[in-house]
Structure formats: structure tokens, C-alpha cells
Chain A
Amino acid sequence: MFASELLIAQNIGFFIIAALMVVGALRVVTTSNVVHAALWLVVVLAGAAAQYVLLAAEFVAVTQVLVYIGAVMVLFLFGTMLTRARIGAESDLNNKNWFVGLPVALTLLAAMLIALRDGFGNEKLPADAPLVSTQVLSDQIFGPYLLPFWALSFVLLAAVIGAIVLARRD
């Protein structure tokens, strides 16, 4: 699978980070402590940021750290603290239909892996691809993708107002 011309150092880095991410994701969905799940999710999100750097997308990686690890995790921890009295392990976090989840997830995984293997095989990522700089990215956002950007601004505005309206005590 790994020809000699593949970049070995990047591959080793990829597999270490990928193993960490998979372990963290499994812990997120299996742990019996909501705060621990949030902290394992930090591992997954940080690993994803590292993978973005490996994929030569440094601006997206920094945005991931700022938005997810900075803002979304704080929201999750606040949500956890505001909606439960006790901190610690709980036994009733799982659905009573939990046994349905495993076959569904495994079937989906098998289908996706087979489709990807047949579709892309041993296709390599270009090692000397032209780097997408942040300048190019901003030209994209404020050029051809300006209309989605405006729509996104309204989505964020609506989300902020909606969150205030929902969570406010009146």
C-alpha cells in the first residue's frame, strides 16, 4: 500500500493523529461521564485541526482551533453544567434501543469503506500542489462565494437572536 515515494514522515504523523482521533471519538460515544465526553471531544477536534495542517489548509486549522476548541467547547461545558446537578458518572446516558446503533454504524462503515476503496484505490494526494494561501481563500469568500457569505451572516444573526429568545427567562 505504501510505495517508497510516499512521504513517510507525514504518514507516521497522520497515523498517530488518526489513532488518537478514533480513540477519542469512541470515548465520546461510550463514556459514562458527560464532562469526560466533552474533554475527549477536544482531543478529536484538535486532531482534526492537525489533519487540516497536513492537508495544507492552515487557515481552516486555525479557525477550527478558535471556533471549536475555543467557543463550542465552552458552550458544551456550560450546557453540561446548566442542565445537570451532579458531576460524575451516570448510568442512564444510553438509549434503550442502543443495540440498534452498532449494526447500523457497522453497515454504514462497511459500505463507505468499500465504496471509497473501489472509487479511489491508491490515488495519491499531489505532493507539490500549489498552496492555497489565505489570500486566495479570502478572494474566494469575498468574490464568487459572497452570496453564501451573506446568507451565513444572516444564519449567525438568526442563531444569536434565537438562542437569546429561547434561553431567556420571561
Chain B
Amino acid sequence: MLLNEFLFLGAILFCIGVYGVIVRKNAVLVLMSIELILNSVNINLLAFSLRNGSADGQTFALYVIAVAAAEVGVGLALVLLVYRNSRSISLDELSEMKG
């Protein structure tokens, strides 16, 4: 298999995730798009781990998965708090911090 197959797949998923982060207004959907981005990074890490024959990439991919889990936990707690305060999770309406 070619190395570029996996790298292209990672690039495509990354760009779809970036598109989702820009386009979506719903905070939960933005978090889902961030998950897409983190997964594409993991595909790249594992592809290079296999290419270089070392376990460093796999170790790092595990760390990325753990950090992503922590991020989703805190992120959804934040979304819940925003929803409780403003009855909406639309990111366009979160303008209280605007000067």
C-alpha cells in the first residue's frame, strides 16, 4: 500500500473537519467536527509509525485519543453550562464578551 493513500485520507478528513468548524453554529456539531480533525491526525501518526517502523507514532496516537476524550468531556460540560444560562447553544449568540 502507498503511504500517500493514508495521508490523502487524513488530509480529506481534516479539511472536512475544518469546513464543519467554520460552517456549523451548533456547539455540539463543532465539537464533532473537532473530533474529525483529531482522527485525521491519528491516521497520519499511525501511517508514519508504520513507515518508520517505530512505536513512537502509536504512543502519540494513544495520547491524542486520551486528550480528545478529556476535551470532549470539558467541552460538553461548557456547552451544558452555556445552554443553562442562555437557553441556546448557538455560537453566534454568544456575544456577551464582545467589548
Partner-B contacts on A (CB < 8 A): 1, 6-7, 10-11, 14, 18, 21-22, 25-26, 28-29, 34, 37-38, 41, 44-45, 48, 51-52, 54-57, 59-60, 63-64, 67-68, 71-72, 75-76, 78-80, 82-84, 92-98, 100-102, 104-106, 108-109, 112-113, 116-117, 120-127, 129-130, 132, 136-137, 140-141, 145, 148-149, 152, 155-156, 158-160, 162-164, 166-167, 169
B73 interface hit (Cβ, 8 Å): yes
Among the listed A52, A96, A108, A169, which residue makes an inter-chain contact with B15, where contact means beta carbons less than 8 Å apart?
A: A108
Among the listed B59, B69, B80, which residue makes an inter-chain contact with A166, where contact means beta carbons less than 8 Å apart?
A: B80
Q: A72-B35, A76-B28, A105-B18 are in contact. Are A83 and B1 (CB under 8 A)?
A: no
Among the listed B8, B19, B22, B26, which residue makes an inter-chain contact with A113, where contact means beta carbons less than 8 Å apart?
A: B8
Instruction: Give min CB distance, A11 to chain B, whole Å.
Output: 6
12 additional A-B residue pairs with CB within 8 Å, beyond A26-B16, A93-B24, A105-B16: A29-B17, A29-B24, A83-B89, A95-B25, A113-B11, A116-B4, A116-B7, A125-B6, A156-B66, A156-B69, A158-B70, A162-B74
Q: Determine whether the beta carbon of B17 is less than 8 Å from that of A25.
A: yes
B97 interface hit (Cβ, 8 Å): no
Q: Determine whether the beta carbon of A52 is less than 8 Å from that of B46.
A: yes
Q: Determine whether the beta carbon of B12 is less than 8 Å from that of A22.
A: yes
In the complex, chain B residues 21-75 whose Cβ is within 8 Å of any chain A Cβ = 22-29, 31-33, 35-36, 39, 42-43, 46-47, 49-51, 53-56, 58-59, 61-63, 65-74
